[in-house]
A and B are shown apart, each in its own frame.
Chain A
C-alpha cells in the first residue's frame, strides 16, 4: 500500500509540485519555440514522453553496469539514440509535425529535463519508479506546453485547429471565435511564447505566494494559541 502511494507521489510530482515548466523552469526552449498551436505543443509533448520514459527505463536498468566516470557520455548516447529514433518515426508517420517542429526535434537531446531526470533519478532508482518518474515528468511537461499552446492559439487565431500537424485522419477547427480579442497576431509569433509564459508563471507564483502566506499566518496563529494555553496552565 505504502509502495503504491509512493509511486503515485512520484507520478504526480512531475505534473504539479515539480512541474518542469512552471515550477522548475526546465525545457524552456521548446516551451517558447513550438507552442504556437496546441497541436505542435502536443506533438512535442508526445515525443518528450517517448524519449523521457524510455531513456529513464533503459538508464535505470543498466545503471549498475555503467562506470561512474562515464555516466554522462553513456546517458547522452542513450538519449540521443531515442531522439534519433523518434525523429525518424516522426518524419515517416507525421511529416507535417516533423516539418513544423524542425530543429527542435534533434534539440530534445539537450533538453535539461531528460538528462536531469536521468542523472537525478533514473541512475539511482529501480526500473518501475524510474518509469513512473519519467512518465509523470513528461506528462507534466506536455500539459504545461499544451496549456501555453492553447492560450496562444485561441487568443492569436480565435480557434483551435486539429489534424493539421498530427495524423488524426480528419482536419478541422473548434471554437472559431470571431472577435478582435481573439485575434492578437503577436501571440502566434515568437514574442507570444514569452508573453503567455510570463502570464502563466505570474499566475502560478501568485498562488504559491498566497498559499505560503496563509501557511505562515496559520503557523503564527497555532503558536499564539499554544502560548496562551501554556500561560493558562501556569496560572491554574
Chain B
C-alpha cells in the first residue's frame, strides 16, 4: 500500500514539475512567438504589395475570415487589402491569405499554416492558385478539376468569404436583383458537383460550375424564379426568360442545357429514405425516359463519410455508380476504387464479386461503396 502511495506521489511530483516548467517557458516565449508570426505575416503583406510600408489590422468575426489587413504606401494611401481566413481541408484547419488590390483584383492567394499533404499543397500553389491571380474577386471562378478537392475547397471557402466581405455577397445581390428578400442556408440536395441552398423566402438555389463560369439557378419545384452568376450570359438570359415556367421548357441551344435541367429535376425528384446507408432515392432518367431508380447512400470510408448515387434498371441490374461526396484521397479513389465499377455494371448479384475483393487495396473507401451497394441492390429487387 505504502509503495503504491510512493509511486503515485513520485509521478504526481514529476508531472507537476514538468507542467510548471513548461508553463514558465511558455509564458516567456509566447509573446516572442506571436511577434515572430506577426513579422512573418508582415513579410507576406509587403511581398504582396511591395510599396507598402505600414499596415493596419482589424480583427473580424465572420466565421471564416478572422483578420483584415490594409496595406498603406509612403503617401499613406491604401494600396491593398489582405484577408486572412481559415477553413477545413483534408488534414484539418488551413490558413489562407487573400491579397486584393483597390480595384478589386486578386493579387495573390497564399496558403499559410496547414496540415495538408505537402505535395498536394505544392500542386495547388504551382498549378491552380496562380489562375486566381488577376481575377476580379466579385466574379471569381475556380478550376473544376484540381485533383485535390478538400484542400482546394478550403481555399475556395476563404476566397468566397473574402469576396463577400470585399465585394458583397453575390447570392444576396442576386436574390435582391430578382426581387427576393431574405437569406439563404447551405443544404445537401444530393446533386453532384453543385452546392445547394434553401432560401428563407422559399424555394431552392443551385450553384452549378459550368465551363463558362458559375451559374445560380433559383427554383421551387420545377418552376424557375431566375438565374445569375458569371456563366455565359446566353444561359443566364435564357433561364430568366422562362421565369414562372418549368425548367424543362428551357429553350437553349447550348451543351450545358441537359446538365442544368437534370440538376434541377434531380433535386426536385429526390425523396428521403431511412435505410442503414441509403438516405434518398430518385427516378433514374436517361434522355427523358425513366429507366429505373437511383439510390443515394452514405457510408464511412477511410477518413470520413463518402456519398454515392447508385442507379438500377427496373430489372434490378446495376447501371451506374456516381460519386457525390468524397472524403477520402481523390487520387486513391480514382486509381483503386473507380476502376472496379465497370465490372459491376449489368449485375444483379454481387456477393461473389465482393468475395473476390473487387476494390483490392482500397479497404476503407471500397468498403463504403460495398455498404451502399449491398443495401441498394436489395431495394432494387436484386439479390445481394
Range for the number of chain B residues in contact with chain A: 10 to 19
Say yes or no: is B7 at the interface (Cβ < 8 Å to chain A): yes
Interface with A: B15-23, B56-64, B158-166, B329-337, which one? B15-23
- The interface stretch among A63-71, A201-209, A216-224 is A63-71
On whether the beta carbons of B10 and A67 are closer than 8 Å, the reply is: yes
Q: Judging by beta carbons under 8 Å apart, are B40 and A85 in contact?
A: no
> B26 near A91 (CB under 8 angstroms)?
no
Which one, B28-36, B93-101, B182-190, B200-208, is touching chain A?
B28-36
- Contact (Cβ within 8 A) A91 B36: yes
Q: Is the CB of A85 within 8 A of B21?
A: yes
* Neighbouring B residues of A88 by C-beta, 8 Å: 22, 25-26, 29, 33
Nearest chain A CB to B44 CB, angstrom units: 14
Give the docked Cα–Cα distance between A58 and B7 (Å): 18
Contact of B10 among A65, A91, A93 (CB under 8 A): A65
A67 to chain B, nearest CB (A): 5
Chain B contacts for A66, CB-based, 8 A = 10
Residues of chain B contacted by A69 (CB below 8 angstroms) = 7
CB distance from B1 to the nearest CB of A (A): 14
Q: Which residues does chain A contribute within 8 Å of B15, judged by CB atoms?
A: 77
A70–B11 touching, CB < 8 Å: yes
Whether the pair A95, B22 counts as a contact (CB closer than 8 A) is no
Q: Are the CB atoms of B29 and A74 closer together than 8 Å?
A: no
B32 engages A80 (CB within 8 Å): no
Q: Does A168 belong to the interface (CB within 8 Å)?
A: no
The residue that B21 contacts in the complex, of A65, A81, A92, with Cβ under 8 A, is: A81
Q: Which of A78, A80, A85, A95 lies in contact with B25, CB distance below 8 A?
A: A85
Docked Cα-Cα span, A206 to B11, in Å, equals 47
* Contact call A74/B14, Cβ cutoff below 8 A: yes
Tell yes or no: A107 within 8 A of B by CB.
no
A218-235 contacts to B (CB < 8 Å): none
Tell me whether A95 and B40 are in contact in the complex, defined as CB-CB below 8 angstroms, given that A65-B10, A67-B7, A74-B10 are known contacts: yes
Find out whether the CB atom of B25 lies under 8 angstroms from the CB atom of A67: no
A66 to chain B: closest residue by CB: B10
The answer to whether A92 touches B32, judged by C-beta atoms less than 8 angstroms apart, is yes
B14 and A67 contact, CB distance less than 8 A: no
User: Is A181 on the interface with B (CB-CB < 8 A)?
Assistant: no
| Contact call B36/A92, Cβ cutoff below 8 A | yes
Smallest CB–CB gap between B21 and chain A, Å?
6
Complex CA distance for A67 and B21, rounded to whole angstroms: 22
Given A85-B22, A95-B40: A78 in contact with B14 (beta carbons within 8 A) = yes
Interface flag for B254 (CB, 8 Å): no
A92 to B29, Cβ gap below 8 A?
Answer: yes
Give Cα A74 to B7, complex, Å.
10
Report B-chain residues with C-beta under 8 Å of the C-beta of A92. 28-29, 32-33, 36
- Looking at the assembled complex, report how far the CB atom of A36 sits from the nearest CB atom of chain B, in whole angstroms: 15
Report whether A95 and B36 are in contact in the complex, using a CB–CB cutoff of 8 Å: yes
Contact of B29 among A78, A81, A91 (CB under 8 A): A91
Across the interface, which residues of A come within 8 angstroms of B25, CB to CB?
Answer: 84-85, 88-89
CB of B3 within 8 A of chain A? yes
CA distance A92 to B18 in the complex (A): 20
Cross-chain contact B3 with A80 (CB below 8 angstroms):
no
CB-based nearest B residue for A73: B11
A80 to B21, CA, bound (A): 12
Query: Once the chains are docked, how many angstroms separate the CA of A56 from the CA of B383?
Result: 67
Contact B10 A70 (CB under 8 A): yes
Given A66-B10, A70-B10, A74-B10, are A89 and B21 neighbors across the interface (CB < 8 Å)? no
For A81, list chain B residues within 8 Å (CB). Answer: 17-18, 21-22
Contact A67–B22 (Cβ < 8 Å): no
Query: Are B14 and A77 within 8 A (Cβ)?
Result: yes
Chain B nearest CB, measured from A153 CB (Å): 21
B32 touches A93 (CB 8 A): yes
A67 close to B18 (CB less than 8 A)? no
Distance in Å from the Cβ of A220 to the closest Cβ of chain B? 55
Chain B residue nearest in CB terms to A89: B29
**Chain B nearest CB, measured from A230 CB (Å):** 61
Expressed in whole angstroms, the minimum distance between the Cβ of A114 and any Cβ of chain B is 15
Minimum CB–CB distance from A56 to chain B (whole Å) comes to 16
Q: Which of A67, A69, A78 has the most CB of B within 10 A?
A: A67
- Nearest CB in chain B to that of A80: its residue: B18
User: Bound complex: CA of A84 vs CA of B26, how far in Å?
Assistant: 9
Q: Which A residues touch B11, using CB under 8 A? A: 70, 73-74, 77
CA distance A89 to B36 in the complex (A): 12
- CA of A22 to CA of B22 in the docked complex: distance in angstroms? 34
Q: Which of A128-163 contact B (CB under 8 A)?
A: none
* Chain B minimum-CB-distance residue to A86: B25
Give A81 to B17 CA distance when docked, in angstroms.
Answer: 9
Q: C-beta contact mask, B252-264 vs A, less than 8 Å → 1, else 0?
A: 0000000000000
- 26 A-B residue pairs with CB within 8 Å: A65-B10, A67-B6, A67-B7, A70-B11, A73-B11, A74-B10, A74-B11, A74-B14, A77-B11, A77-B15, A77-B18, A78-B14, A78-B18, A80-B18, A81-B17, A81-B18, A85-B21, A88-B26, A89-B29, A91-B33, A91-B36, A92-B29, A92-B33, A92-B36, A95-B36, A95-B40
Known: A77-B18, A93-B32. 13 other contacts (CB 8 A): A67-B7, A77-B11, A77-B15, A80-B18, A81-B21, A84-B22, A84-B25, A88-B22, A88-B33, A89-B29, A92-B28, A92-B33, A95-B36
Interface positions of A (Cβ within 8 A of B): 65-67, 69-70, 73-74, 77-78, 80-81, 84-85, 88-89, 91-93, 95
Closest 4 CB pairs of A and B: A92-B29, A92-B32, A81-B18, A88-B29
